[in-house]
């Protein structure tokens, strides 16, 4: 199952091959019911059991402490850009945001609708070794923010903040849409962790929010009820009909990840995959990566050709070789290899082979 095509799409992204085989097999006959998992009530006992098992598997994988609620939400990661300020900050609050890239920027602009003051504490900085994130000691933090928000892995820019910021008692909120479950994480450092599903979890139109329970009960009065953490926590994420197929498929992904050895094992593999790509890019004059070595993503590896007039040819020939989804985000251009959990080493090796051949032919 580790053969072409290899799908480097940034999201919606490839899902584990084993998961897709199982989902196809039981597509019209789930749990020996003779019907599809997407055709039954979310209040059906068998569905509820599956849903609870999926949550437990995620708790096991991330070692989520008991004082955190796991919510399965509508709307993807971007829905959380409004859900976070609406749920855990009052309209008169000040909130702190670290600006790490494009998705941080969108989150900041959305938060401005719901609180009195969005304070940007710091941002990316260009250094001789590439783009980095300003050092914590330079951040202009507020005295009493309702929370501190950052995006530890910027999908478009390929920039990552590998150290968890130390913000004391301020609730730390992280948009982990593109790096959740990619390596071990100390959940207890966070107030809220959220992620759109369509990278390391499952299909799109779905999000997970992991919320420390002391942050419940604070929603602004005009929060849409389907996005209200407190309501969804009370109703087991079934205040309204959830995205049942996404919940099911995410559950299969969690089971698969457990079989791989969990986040420790997948984390070692993810670092190995990323290192291989960065090492090759760094020794090449034909390809380059614009990010400082200490701030490079292990999930999204953007790279530029020295001559961008070859971009179209690169993408065309890569696709012909079964390497798809390599086009960089429309905001930044170039290429991007997204190598989430589901991407096997064989995919990275195939990409490297292609990049070497292309460099040889055109370099």
Going by the annotation, the residues of the binding site for L-glutamate are: 43
Cα separations in angstroms, 9 against 6, 316, 330, 348: 9, 15, 13, 13
Taking the least distance from each CB to its own copies, the nearer of 23 and 160 is: 23
Taking the least distance from each CB to its own copies, the nearer of 44 and 359 is: 44
Shortest Å distance, C-beta 171 to its own copies: 21
Shortest Å distance, C-beta 283 to its own copies: 30
Taking the least distance from each CB to its own copies, the nearer of 222 and 283 is: 222
Using CB under 8 A, list all residues that contact its own copies.
4-5, 7, 9-15, 20-21, 23-24, 27-28, 33-36, 38-43, 74-79, 81-83, 86, 110, 113-114, 196, 198, 203-206, 221-222, 224-227, 239-246, 322, 324-325, 330
Annotated active-site positions, please?
Answer: 103, 175, 199
Decide: 146 and 321 in contact? Cβ < 8 Å.
no
Shortest Å distance, C-beta 264 to its own copies: 26
Taking the least distance from each CB to its own copies, the nearer of 330 and 360 is: 330
Shortest Å distance, C-beta 127 to its own copies: 31
Shortest Å distance, C-beta 148 to its own copies: 22
Taking the least distance from each CB to its own copies, the nearer of 14 and 62 is: 14
Numbered residues of the known binding site: 43, 77-78, 103, 155, 175, 198, 240-241
């Amino acid at each position: 199952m580790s053969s072409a095509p290899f799908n480097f799409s940034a999201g919606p992204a490839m899902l584990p091959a084993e998961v897709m085989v199982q989902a196809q097999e039981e597509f019209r006959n789930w749990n020996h019911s003779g019907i599809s998992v997407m055709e039954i009530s979310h209040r059906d006992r068998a569905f509820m059991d599956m849903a609870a098992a999926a949550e437990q598997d995620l708790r096991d994988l991330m070692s989520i402490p008991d004082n955190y609620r796991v919510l399965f939400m509508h709307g993807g990661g971007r829905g959380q850009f409004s859900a976070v300020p609406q749920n855990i900050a009052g309209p008169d609050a000040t909130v702190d945001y670290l600006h790490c890239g494009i998705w941080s920027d969108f989150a900041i602009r959305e938060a401005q609708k719901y609180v009195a003051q969005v304070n940007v504490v710091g941002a990316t900085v260009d250094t001789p070794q590439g783009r980095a994130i300003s050092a914590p000691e330079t951040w202009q933090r507020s005295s009493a923010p309702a929370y501190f928000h950052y995006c530890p892995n910027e999908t478009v820019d390929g920039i990552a903040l590998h150290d968890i910021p130390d913000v004391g008692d301020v609730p730390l909120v992280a948009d982990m849409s593109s790096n959740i479950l990619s390596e071990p994480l100390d959940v207890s450092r966070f107030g809220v962790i959220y992620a759109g599903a369509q990278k390391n979890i499952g299909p799109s139109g779905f999000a997970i929010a992991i919320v420390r329970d002391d942050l419940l009960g604070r929603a602004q009065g005009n929060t849409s009820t389907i996005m209200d953490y407190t309501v969804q926590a009370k109703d087991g994420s079934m205040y309204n009909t959830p995205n049942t197929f996404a919940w099911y498929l995410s559950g299969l992904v969690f089971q698969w990840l457990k079989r791989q050895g969990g986040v420790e094992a997948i984390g070692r593999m993810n670092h190995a995959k990323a290192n291989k790509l960065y090492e090759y890019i760094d020794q090449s004059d034909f390809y380059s990566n614009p990010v400082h070595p200490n701030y490079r993503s292990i999930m999204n590896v953007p790279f530029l050709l020295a001559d961008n007039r070859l971009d179209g040819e690169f993408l065309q020939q890569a696709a012909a070789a079964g390497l798809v989804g390599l086009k960089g985000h429309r905001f930044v251009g170039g290429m991007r290899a997204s190598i989430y959990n589901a991407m096997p080493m064989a995919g990275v090796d195939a990409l490297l082979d292609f990049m070497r051949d292309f460099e040889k032919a055109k370099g």
